[in-house]
Amino acid sequence: MITRYPFSAVVGHDDLKLALLLNAVSPAIGGVLVRGEKGTAKSTVVRSLAALLPRVAVVAGCRFSCDPAAPDPSCPDGPHEGGLSPQTRPARLVELPVGASEDRVAGSLDLERALTEGVKAFEPGLLAAAHRGVLYVDEVNLLHDHLVDLLLDAAAMGVAHVEREGVSVRHAARFLLVGTMNPEEGELRPQLLDRFGLAVEVRASRDPAERAEVVRRRLAFDADPGGFAAAYTGGERDLARRIAAARERLPGVALPDAALRGITAVCAAFDVEGMRADLVMARTAVALAAWEGRDEVTSGDVRTAARLALPHRRRRDPFDDPGHGLDEERLEQALSEADGGSDDGGPDDDGPDDDGPGGGGASGADPADAPPNEGGGTGGRAPVSPTAPYRTRLLAPEAVGRGGPAGRRGRTTGESGRTAGARRPDGRLRRLHLTATLAAAAPHQRGRGRSGSGLVLRREDLREAIREGRESNLVLFCVDASGSMAARARMRAVKGAVLSLLLDAYQRRDKVGLVTFRGEDATVALPPTSSVELASDRLARLATGGRTPLAAGLRRAERVLAAERLRDPRRRPLLVVVTDGRHTSGPDPVAAAARLAGVASVVVDCEHGPVRLGLAGRLAAALGGTPIRIEELAADHLAAVVRDVRKVA
């Protein structure tokens, strides 16, 4: 038996531990999302929770953990009627691997019984195993979309539906959903993000003494896990008893009207969408009162609930700063107004723009209209704000990929996606298509002398499932930041276009990279990453000015793609060059472009004015790619762009 690190031995992470304990008291809160940098013991804390949960009473022999007091009437192992044999077992913590198949998560036909006995029997999946327990997803932001859809359905209804291979099953699936993630590797889909009741940001302590204690305890645990855990048995037992007592107290905790008004006022003040935040805050505040041994919710409970339930719901798009908490002044103001207080003289977060000296108003001349600083940088000018992001055309390779990572851009065949057909296996059978296999074997049963219920199968009957889906690509932006692009209006449009393409990459779950060129050379402003947050931040701080070394930018892009091809060979690249096509430094870019001719490429043409030289179009021809005028990048030209990209993929 594996000895888990004791929950009571964890140093720091107070918000995380409180969020998990409150969900243990009241699973109706909806789970916890743990965001944090790598190496902060996120998984260790979550896995240690299971030992504290009260034991679960189940119907003996039921694979779906039915409650003897209220068995599921649609349980596949039912019906469970009178004379049940109850038994108790520890609460389960079920881990859902990022690379799990849909059958493993939702369940599937029991192949062994189908092939040997000729009967249809359901084999439960991880959703059934997690019922009345904890479902833990490490790196939840990397979970494939088709698995996210399963989780969303189960979390919304508390029921899992399985419809496949002639099997139709419905069973209860209510669980505490806990996910951990590193934001640098990409964000969650908004639908799944909202399903987590609470969210906690975890960071390693900067206190040397606390860090030393963390290391000391971990080394002691590694040296003697059993002895270390035994030293914390008392603390673990006390926490378990306190959770059980809080669960018993929970139904009797009162939520006064004043506290409820505070909850709704805070949610309105922070402009959260929908009503789920209000419900989660109410449940969290009640659970906190029960945990603290009180019979009524206080304003302090509401404050704590807001800090845990609202931060991840304030975010409107992937480029907003997720922050690490709430604006305390705004929180206090909302609570004060709910109590009948006045906000006279209070801060106005949404007040008018400051048009005075040093402000962001429109008074006076625009200093950014001055000539660019050829020496580099922006000459001390304020950063150029991009235009608002908009929905862009779909830019995707036409050729169907082979097993690329799951996403929403290029088409691919591989291990994930919908089943699009069946074929004879070429070599070793990887994904059995049961229905097609049985259909191929059925006409030959009499000729093969079948007797009994079992099927007579031969190698030639086997059929492999063909799965088709969408893949995630590497979108590498190569952006001209030279003096010819530095006029404020033009650079605002360029940044807005790249920001819009970044938003598209976020929605399609791509990796993104950013190469910029200006002056005499090109730099990798952002190595390929799944965090569009980082990309947008680097874009916002993009320096402009100087000459235009277009060839250097293309050569740098070539090196980045070559290195990424070795690191992630399954992920196909898409090169997006944003430039007006001019080059005023270094060699002619045609030779550098020819070396990238095998890469699917798009050139966003930023040339403007009544006279156009068409240099970006010539660059696109050298790349074997497609030129797109920057003003034509919006999604209303979707079909034309897909058709153009297909010509050069």
Active site residues: 276
Of the candidates 107, 114, 27, 31, the one whose C-alpha atom is nearest the C-alpha of residue 75 is: 107
**Closest alpha carbon to 31 in 128, 104, 140:** 140
> Within the chain, what is the greatest distance between any pair of CA atoms?
94
Label residue 216 exposed, middle or buried (CB < 10 Å: 0-12, 13-18, 19+): exposed
Tokens of 70: 């209220």
Write out the DSSP string of 382-409. PPPPPPPP-PBPP---SSPEESPPEEEE
From the list 550, 491, 483, the residue with the least C-alpha distance to 517 is 550
d(CA 344, CA 480): 49
Tokens at 61, concatenated: 């022999």
Alpha-carbon gap, residue 453 to 35, rounded angstroms: 52
Contact status, residue 531 vs residue 184, Cβ threshold 8 Å: yes
Question: For residues 649 and 640, what is the distance between their CA atoms, to the nearest angstrom?
Answer: 14
Neighbour tally for 608: CB within 10 Å: 15
Contact 455, 554 (CB under 8 A): no
Written as six digits, the tokens of 599 are: 């890469």
Q: In a 10 Å sphere around its CB, with 0-12 CB exposed, 13-18 middle and 19+ buried, how is residue 22 labelled?
A: buried
Please spell the DSSP secondary structure of 489-528, one letter per residue.
Answer: HHHHHHHHHHHHHHHHHHHTT-EEEEEEEETTEEEEEEEE
Calculate the alpha carbon distances from 386 to 225, 496, 590, 642 in Å: 54, 5, 30, 26
Helices (H), 352-486: 434-441
CA-closest candidate to residue 491, choices 369, 641, 343 = 369
| 8 Å CB contact between 291 and 304 | no
Assess contact for 289 and 301: CB atoms under 8 A. Answer: yes
First to last CA, the chain: 53
Helical pair 14-25 and 276-291, crossing angle rounded to 10 deg: 90
d(CA 330, CA 56): 42
